[in-house]
DNA sequence: CGGCTGTACTG
DNA sequence: CAGTACA
DNA sequence: GCCG
């Protein structure tokens, strides 16, 4: 294996991932010279505090929790950062301990700050995470407030900014914290001018609701016939607990922690758009309003700027190439890595900064390093200049043609799209894909989508009064340009949706709106359950002769919330959530959220979904913080 | 070293 | 069933 | 390619 990382430093340190492992301490990790005190409470579990403590320590800082007991004024004296869930918790605690006035050199931050730092592998600016003024530093206040926090200067790049004070015995244990010798000015809340309130988004901690427990009861009850009451409960409960690792105690929390980090990573820096708040039709009414509004103007604001576009564009290319080659796992890895890197709150200055960032491993870091150094990526250059590969990419960009077919077509001697047009072996879908090649590749504006929405909704309404007809997909996630329009249709009465797709399809075709069917749908078995029907096709862009991709799905109201989550996506988000669900004992699909009990090697999936009337229910059952659609652009 | 999301149409 | 597609 |  290659040992690339910088000279002089043990290669291990940088590849060792954030280190829940206190044994590996990155001496100049991102928390170098940070002396942190964590205030318990506010719903944060002691266990979580300890995890954070280990991480901070592993990343070069020192940290301790201010857990029960009177405690340790000395600790406070030398602290550089005091973190708590909320201002209230902080005040409460500090008063109790009579430390008012002592924490002169510390800045008070929300745990969110810590999470962000861990997620981005850098000390992010504390500005947006300051806890509101407490008064305990009142005495020192005159300290004029440089505007920089220790070690965060503007936050662009982390650690190196700090004066190298003491060679710092960042005691891995929990001895009294060494004093960060001077130098640091202690800015305390310089920026109180900030309008508070928004500064400290209350941490929400996914409380692992008792679903799990109940579920276990029921799931097991079914098999064992016992009521599964508590401790004694038969082997069934124990097995189930073991299966999900509750035994070791930490698996569950590691998973929660992992997911929280993933979420934090996607939320950072993203100011929340006002007004985008309630447009998702989940809150007030279970179903989206029938009159437009709900989606005509929705969550605005596409993704924030990608500060690392110079890097991600290369990695994106690699992703596309591996997709075309059918190397789905590499492609997946690159897609995830890009998703993470493009949201970093800082511009990458050194590949080292990526140590411990989830989803970015040694090999990607190496590539980042190369790009930073040379502005190019040799591997990519060679792949891009490969003529065959170019053809494969071209072919697989046709709807209906994937990696395998592309290869097949190539081996038949085809080299251009023109070559393909004559080939009768192409599937019907691929032929259509070819016919509409340009238009399928084209994007449309939100206005275009809105016009299509209005049209489809009007037709649906006239066929089936009271119908709900929402645009999902990238449009709902707030993207500025959309590659297709994605309808999720249902009827609140829970039954009128049956057979609706056929009628709608017929109508939309009759009026010359639907122009081609890329995939048809089960022509309903009316009577029974028909939870869903899906149609993929081409439609005419109103007012033009252009065509665009359109998908229409009609789902039963019973599964609407889960279907909405599914079709809102994005794909990476869906995969992550579903993976998390699996790991915590559920199976999530567009049809519901199903408890899973693992016994030995076998998995038993409940046949009935947990009740999910709204998207929020889905998140809540999983113990996840709710994410607005625009926060699901993972 | 093995898993990485879950589902549905097409041919 | 393999391949492709949808999020 | 990344992760446990």
pLDDT digits (tens, 9 = 90+) for A7-27: 333 333 333 333 333 345 677
Closest CA to A396 of A424, A423, A425, A420: A420
Are A273 and A630 within 8 A, CB to CB?
Answer: yes
A195 vs A90, A128, A246, CA distance in Å? 19, 10, 42
Higher local confidence (pLDDT), A301 or A495: A495
> Catalytic positions of A, please?
367
Assess whether A582 (CB) lies less than 7 A from strand D: no
Strand ranges for A81-155 from DSSP E: 81-84, 107-110
Bases of chain B within 7 A of a CB of the protein: 3-11
Highest mean pLDDT range out of A27-41, A243-257, A439-453?
A: A439-453
Written as one string, the DSSP assignment of A274-293 is: TT-TTTTSSSSSSS--SSGG
Distance A589 CA to B6 C1' (A): 6
Arithmetic mean of pLDDT, A270-292: 37
Look over chain A and give the mean of its residue pLDDT values, rounded to a whole number.
Answer: 73
The CB-based long-range contact list for A214-223 (8 Å cut-off, 24+ gap) reads A215/A585, A215/A595, A215/A597, A215/A606, A215/A610, A216/A240, A216/A241, A216/A597, A218/A595, A218/A606, A219/A595, A219/A597, A219/A604, A219/A606, A220/A597, A223/A604
Return the CATH number of the domain spanning residue range A442-555: 3.30.460.10
Distance A140 CA to D4 C1' (A): 48
The C-alpha atoms of residue A216 and residue A236 are separated, in whole angstroms, by: 9
pLDDT at A49 over 80: no
**pLDDT value of residue A55:** 79
**pLDDT value of residue A111:** 85
Assess whether A399 (CB) lies less than 7 A from strand C: yes
Range A62-88 burial, b when 16+ CB lie within 10 A, else e? bbbbbeeeeebeebbbbbbbbbbbbbb
Q: Copy the structure tokens of residue A619.
A: 């998140």
pLDDT at A493 over 80: yes
CA Rg value for chain A: 27
CATH 1.10.150.110 fits A308-440, yes or no: yes
**pLDDT value of residue A322:** 97
Helix (H) or strand (E) holding A595: strand A592-599
pLDDT at A180 over 70: no
Please tell me whether the overall predicted TM-score, pTM, comes out greater than 0.85 for this model. no
> Residue with CA nearest B3 C1'?
A329
Q: Which CATH number fits domain A564-633: 3.30.210.10, 3.10.180.10, 3.20.20.370, 3.40.190.10?
A: 3.30.210.10
A519 vs A78, A396, A399, CA distance in Å? 66, 18, 11
Q: Is the dihedral of CA A182, A189, A45, A77 positive or negative?
A: positive
Assess whether A252 (CB) lies less than 7 A from strand C: no
Residues 6+ apart with CB under 8 A from A423: A409, A412, A414
**pLDDT value of residue A229:** 31
Taking only the tens place, the pLDDT of each residue in A518-568 is: 998 876 654 445 677 899 999 999 999 999 999 999 999 999 999 999 999
Are A357 and A120 within 8 A, CB to CB?
Answer: yes
Are A38 and A68 within 8 A, CB to CB?
Answer: no
**pLDDT value of residue A249:** 52
The C-alpha atoms of residue A383 and residue A249 are separated, in whole angstroms, by: 46
Closest CA to A553 of A484, A506, A507, A501: A501
Sequence spans of domains, chain A: 35-120, 308-440, 442-555, 564-633
The C-alpha atoms of residue A187 and residue A152 are separated, in whole angstroms, by: 12
Distance A224 CA to B6 C1' (A): 29
Taking only the tens place, the pLDDT of each residue in A199-244 is: 222 223 333 333 443 343 333 322 322 333 333 222 222 222 223 3
CATH 3.40.50.10190 fits A35-120, yes or no: yes
Residues 266-285 of A with CB within 7 A of strand B: none
pLDDT at A47 over 90: no
Closest CA to A110 of A205, A228, A244, A252: A205
Assess whether A588 (CB) lies less than 7 A from strand B: yes
Is A449 exposed, middle or buried, given 0-12, 13-18 or 19+ CB atoms closer than 10 A? buried
**β A547-555/A514-519 pair status:** unpaired
Arithmetic mean of pLDDT, A137-163: 32
Range A513-526 burial, b when 16+ CB lie within 10 A, else e? bbbebbeebeebee
Arithmetic mean of pLDDT, A372-383: 96
The C-alpha atoms of residue A346 and residue A211 are separated, in whole angstroms, by: 39
Are A414 and A388 within 8 A, CB to CB?
Answer: no
A577 vs A258, A403, A411, A418, A567, CA distance in Å? 11, 27, 39, 41, 13
């Amino acid at each position: 294996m290659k040992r690339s990382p910088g000279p002089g430093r043990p290669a291990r340190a940088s590849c060792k991932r954030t280190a829940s492992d206190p044994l590996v301490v990155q001496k100049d990790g991102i928390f170098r010279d940070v002396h942190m005190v964590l205030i318990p409470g506010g719903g944060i579990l002691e266990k979580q505090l300890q995890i954070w403590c280990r991480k901070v320590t592993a990343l070069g800082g020192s940290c301790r929790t201010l857990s029960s007991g009177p405690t340790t004024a000395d600790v406070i004296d030398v602290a550089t950062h005091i973190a708590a869930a909320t201002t209230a918790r902080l005040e409460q605690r500090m008063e109790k301990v009579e430390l008012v006035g002592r924490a002169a050199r510390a800045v008070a931050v929300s745990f969110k700050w810590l999470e962000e730092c861990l997620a981005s592998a850098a000390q992010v600016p504390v500005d947006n995470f300051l806890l509101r003024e407490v008064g305990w530093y009142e005495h020192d206040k005159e300290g004029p407030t440089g505007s920089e926090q220790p070690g965060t200067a503007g936050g662009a790049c982390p650690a190196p900014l700090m004066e190298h004070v003491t060679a710092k015995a960042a005691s891995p244990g929990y001895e009294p914290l060494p004093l960060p010798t001077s130098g640091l000015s202690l800015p305390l809340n310089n920026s109180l001018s900030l309008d508070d309130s928004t500064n400290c988004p209350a941490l929400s901690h996914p409380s692992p609701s008792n679903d799990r427990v109940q579920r276990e009861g029921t799931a097991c009850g079914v098999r064992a016939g016992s009521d599964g009451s508590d401790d004694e409960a038969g082997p069934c409960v124990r097995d189930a607990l073991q299966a999900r690792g509750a035994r070791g105690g930490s698996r569950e929390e590691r998973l929660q922690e992992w997911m929280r980090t993933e979420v934090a990573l996607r939320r950072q820096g993203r100011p929340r758009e006002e007004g985008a708040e309630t447009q998702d039709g989940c809150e007030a009414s279970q179903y989206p309003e029938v009159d437009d509004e709900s989606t005509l103007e929705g969550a605005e604001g596409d993704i924030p700027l990608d500060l690392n576009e110079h890097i991600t564009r290369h990695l994106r290319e690699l992703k596309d190439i591996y997709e075309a080659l059918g190397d789905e796992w590499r492609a997946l890895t690159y897609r995830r890595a890009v998703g993470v890197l493009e949201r970093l709150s800082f511009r990458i200055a050194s590949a080292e900064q990526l140590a411990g960032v989830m989803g970015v491993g040694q090999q990607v870091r190496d590539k980042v390093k190369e790009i930073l150094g040379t502005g190019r990526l040799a591997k990519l250059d060679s792949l891009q200049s490969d003529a065959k590969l170019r053809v494969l990419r071209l072919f697989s960009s046709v709807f209906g043609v994937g990696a395998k077919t592309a290869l097949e077509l190539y081996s038949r001697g085809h080299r251009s799209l023109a070559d393909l047009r004559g080939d009768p072996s192409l599937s019907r879908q691929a032929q259509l894909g070819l016919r509409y090649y340009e238009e399928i590749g084209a994007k449309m504006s939100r206005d275009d989508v809105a016009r299509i929405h209005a049209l489809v909704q009007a037709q649906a309404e006239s066929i089936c009064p009271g119908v709900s007809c929402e645009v999902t997909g990238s449009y709902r996630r707030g993207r500025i340009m959309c590659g297709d329009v994605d309808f999720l249709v249902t009827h609140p009465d829970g039954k009128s949706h049956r057979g609706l797709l056929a009628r709608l399809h017929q109508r939309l075709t009759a009026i010359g709106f639907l122009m081609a069917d890329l995939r048809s749908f089960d022509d309903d078995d009316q009577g029974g359950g028909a939870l869903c029907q899906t149609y993929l096709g081409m439609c005419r862009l109103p007012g033009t002769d252009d065509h665009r991709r359109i998908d229409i799905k009609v789902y039963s109201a019973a599964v609407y919330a889960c279907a909405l989550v599914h079709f809102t996506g994005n794909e990476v988000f869906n995969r992550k959530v579903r993976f998390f669900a699996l790991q915590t004992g559920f199976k999530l699909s567009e049809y519901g959220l199903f408890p899973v009990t693992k016994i030995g090697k076998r998995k038993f999936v409940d046949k009935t979904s947990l009740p999910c009337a709204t998207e929020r229910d889905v998140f809540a059952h999983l113990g996840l913080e709710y994410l607005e659609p625009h926060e699901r652009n993972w």
